[in-house]
Amino acid sequence: MKTRITELFGIEHPIIQGGMHYVGFAELAAAVSNAGGLGMITGLTQRTPDDLAREIRRCREMTDKPFGVNLTFLPMVNAPDYPGYIRAIVEGGVKAVETAGNNPQKYLPALQEAGIKVIHKCTAVRHALKAEAIGCDAVSVDGFECGGHPGEDDVPNFILLPRAAQALKIPFVASGGMADGRSLIAALSLGADGINMGTRFVATKEAPVHENVKQAIVAASELDTRLVMRPLRNTERVLRNAAVDRLLQKEQALGSSIKFEDIVEEVAGVYPRIMKAGEMDAGAWSCGMVAGLIHDVPVVKDLIDRIMREANEIVTGVAPVTQDTWTPLG
């Protein structure tokens, strides 16, 4: 399938794997890229720019297809060495960067002068227009249903995507709630040029995370996520667990006087314990409502092939996908 996104990034299918802390290692990025999508290494999961340079080299050993690096600008306890990470990306010959969290304007010249295409992740049309105005090559539009940080406007994709399509000239992908061929065709119908998936790619064979994480996603329904850190205006959609319940109790008890230090135990440094050690109640971890549509742990190539096959069947009317014909993989 050809869209403005496949043309921009030189990929076969309009499917991107969004950056994911402690999930987006070379193994997953390479698997997505080898299957014809655009895989993404998560920059900040690498502790130093040298570590990122090594991860980029590792990914290149696993794929000769294009892949990208995610650079997230979020409120952090200690600000990372962004110029160092950008040097590693440029010197590593990476051709795509997904920026997220904050305005990437300061870093665009260094990236784009090196021929890197920048896709900025936004949760509001006004932010997407800003990204277009400062020269981003594309945007990823994350609806309210997304795993991770949905922003503070709470606009779901059925409204957000057509609004983005009306307003934007640059290509964009639909992100949040995307899982299958229906998602892809719906996204294209609403004006997007492809899809970005997070949670769906965590529940794949190649995602280098503990099996408990994958099984938690398969077991979860669309009702099992919660929004945390809203009082801090840093809202995150996470899978409900004991730590999340504790965090929400603190939010309720402390109200608007809550500070980051009050919830440090539930949110800071918890990802390695969850993703690597499989301690599922160690803290809050990002997960989308789309968990309700995820029933299997397939190989990435089978997942992407299935999405493209379903999309094709929907468009050609050969075998419309229904609950009866849909078969879980793996």
Ligand X SMILES: Cc1cc2nc3c(=O)[nH]c(=O)nc-3n(C[C@H](O)[C@H](O)[C@H](O)COP(=O)(O)O)c2cc1C
- Residue closer to ligand X by CB (options 146, 314) is 146
What are 98's strand-pairing partners?
A: 70, 119
- Residue closer to ligand X by CB (options 154, 320) is 154
- Residue closer to ligand X by CB (options 36, 104) is 104
* CB 255 to ligand X: min, Å: 28
Residue with tokens 């994911």: 20
Query: Based on the number of CB atoms within 10 Å of its own CB, is 208 exposed (0-12), middle (13-18) or buried (19 or more)?
Result: middle
Question: Restricting to residues 171-230, which ones interact with ligand X according to CB under 6 A?
Answer: 175-178, 196-200, 202
What are 196's strand-pairing partners?
A: 16, 175
* CB 214 to ligand X: min, Å: 11
Residue 134, amino acid: I
Task: Print the binding letters for residues 2-41 with ligand X: x by CB under 6 A, - otherwise.
Answer: ----------------xxxx-x------------------
- Residue closer to ligand X by CB (options 197, 308) is 197
- Residue closer to ligand X by CB (options 138, 146) is 146
Question: Restricting to residues 108-167, which ones interact with ligand X according to CB under 6 A?
Answer: 121, 142, 145-148
Of 34, 46, 72, 235, the one binding ligand X (CB under 6 A) is 72
Residue 243, amino acid: A
Element (H, E) at 64: none
- Does residue 70 interact with ligand X by CB under 6 A? yes
How many other β-carbons are positioned within 10 Å of the β-carbon of residue 65?
A: 19
Task: Print the binding letters for residues 237-266 with ligand X: x by CB under 6 A, - otherwise.
Answer: ------------------------------
Cβ neighbors of 64 (< 8 A, separation 6 or more) are none
Nearest residue to ligand X on Cβ basis: 198
Cα separation, 209 vs 130, in Å, equals: 35
- Does residue 68 interact with ligand X by CB under 6 A? no
Torsion of CA 81, 40, 143, 209, to 10 degrees: -90
* CB 237 to ligand X: min, Å: 8
* CB 307 to ligand X: min, Å: 13
3-state helix, strand and coil shares in percent for the chain, rounded to the nearest 5: 45, 15, 40
- Residue closer to ligand X by CB (options 224, 255) is 224
Count, residues near ligand X per rule CB under 6 A: 30
Residue 310, amino acid: E
Cα separation, 176 vs 288, in Å, equals: 7
Query: Based on the number of CB atoms within 10 Å of its own CB, is 112 exposed (0-12), middle (13-18) or buried (19 or more)?
Result: middle
Residue with tokens 């690096």: 69
- Residue closer to ligand X by CB (options 8, 275) is 275
Cα separation, 127 vs 106, in Å, equals: 16
* CB 179 to ligand X: min, Å: 8
- Does residue 104 interact with ligand X by CB under 6 A? no
* CB 273 to ligand X: min, Å: 13
Residues forming contacts to ligand X in the complex (CB under 6 A) are: 18-21, 23, 42, 70, 72, 100, 121, 142, 145-148, 175-178, 196-200, 202, 285-288, 290
